[in-house]
Amino acid sequence: MTEFGPLAGMPAQEDGAYPPYNDGSGISAAAVLADLQTHEIGRALRVLEESTSTVDAAREWLKQGAPNGAALIAQRQTQGRGRLGRSWASPLGGLWLTVILRPHWDVAAVGLLGLATALAAAEAVEKETGARIQLRWPNDLMLGARKVGGVLVETELEGRIVAAALVSIGVNVNFALGELPEEVRGSATTVLAATGNLHPLPRLAARFLETLEGGLGAVTDDPQALQTLWRGRDALRGKQVCVEVAGKVLRGRAAGVDRQGRVLLATSLLGRTALATGEVTLVREEGREGPQVRAE
């Protein structure tokens, strides 16, 4: 196989197990596992050529007894979904990945689980692509002022106990901006569009799974470490924001996250308030640069 372009030098596959790397789209379980240094997360791994959504496929696998840490990747999704029931464009060249966890934590840990997942994704993207990633609460990956990825956490509860969590990331990596729906092109980006380079998806997946494994320990044992890591990547800190919660809008200055993963808002009306859910909108301030950005 002839290889060319920014990924020249990556090993060619004799068995045709995954498509050529030279368009940045290829990923196989073998390629991820060859590079993966984890104990449990991602050790059971399935890569599908196409799925409606890796969350749906993971739910099926969960029912069939998938082990803790099992991971599922689709090369493309036909009905990818995001937070708040939005659709998520998932063409070839992105990293569309769900991890199945059976954590048996109290439900109060779910907020931090989302943060730990976003932090792991940000670290992996930064390590493998060199693109500086910031995080916009609750779990958007930002490259500059544009969204390059997101996190979705779905849980199955038994009372207050998290019997299962389906933890997903979607990262726009090796495809052009034109492959995203027109309505998000003004606020989203891809690593390729931002850096001009293609990056091997198997390496990115492996770095994410490794970092997530470490982050999961911190959810229960060291929330403060996650809080500190978040602070280093917080795209909202110190900015005037509006948060819409249950039809009401609160305005204040974003002041980081607490040890449960809630966003902290300094408001003139209520003082410092912690919010577990909500939609954040950046408020354009007099004399400050920057567009009005809606967190999705």
| 200 contacts ligand BTN (rule: CB under 6 A) | no
The whole-angstrom separation of Cα 66 and Cα 72 is: 11
Segment near ligand BTN (CB under 6 A); pick from 96-104, 129-137, 182-190, 198-206:
96-104
Of the candidate residues 22, 25, 28, 54, the single one contacting ligand BTN (CB under 6 A) = 54
Nearer to ligand BTN, 42 or 252 (CB): 42
**Are the C-beta atoms of 245 and 275 separated by less than 8 Å?**
yes
Nearer to ligand BTN, 10 or 113 (CB): 113
Distances (CA, A) of 25 to 1, 46, 94, 252: 15, 16, 7, 42
Nearer to ligand BTN, 10 or 120 (CB): 120
Min dist CB 249 to ligand BTN, Å, is: 21
Nearer to ligand BTN, 87 or 224 (CB): 87
Using alpha carbons, select from 118, 109, 124, 119 the residue that is nearest to residue 229: 119
| 77 contacts ligand BTN (rule: CB under 6 A) | yes
The SS3 call for residue 280 is: strand
| 168 contacts ligand BTN (rule: CB under 6 A) | yes
The whole-angstrom separation of Cα 90 and Cα 131 is: 20
Nearer to ligand BTN, 105 or 208 (CB): 208
Report strand pairing: 71-74 vs 45-48: parallel
Min dist CB 72 to ligand BTN, Å, is: 9
Q: Tokens 């690593």 sit at which residue?
A: 191
Of the candidate residues 18, 21, 61, 96, the single one contacting ligand BTN (CB under 6 A) = 96
Q: Which residues of 109-140 are buried (b: 16+ CB within 10 A; e: fewer)?
A: bbbbbbbbbbbbbbbbbbebbebebbbbbbbb
Nearer to ligand BTN, 54 or 129 (CB): 54
Min dist CB 117 to ligand BTN, Å, is: 10
Nearer to ligand BTN, 10 or 58 (CB): 58
Of the candidate residues 24, 91, 150, 215, the single one contacting ligand BTN (CB under 6 A) = 150
The whole-angstrom separation of Cα 88 and Cα 192 is: 18
**Are the C-beta atoms of 116 and 216 separated by less than 8 Å?**
yes
Min dist CB 127 to ligand BTN, Å, is: 20
* Dihedral sign of CA atoms 141, 146, 148, 153 in order: positive
Segment near ligand BTN (CB under 6 A); pick from 53-61, 194-202, 206-214, 267-275:
53-61
| 129 contacts ligand BTN (rule: CB under 6 A) | no
Binding positions for ligand BTN, 222-281, rule CB under 6 A? none
Nearer to ligand BTN, 171 or 226 (CB): 171
| Tokens linked to 11 | 């090993």
- Crossing angle for the helix pair 110-129 and 201-221, nearest 10 degrees? 150
Segment near ligand BTN (CB under 6 A); pick from 14-22, 91-99, 119-127, 179-187:
91-99
The whole-angstrom separation of Cα 129 and Cα 199 is: 6
Q: Tokens 């509860």 sit at which residue?
A: 157
Interface positions with ligand BTN (CB under 6 A):
53-55, 77, 80-83, 86, 88, 90, 96-98, 140, 150-152, 168, 170, 296
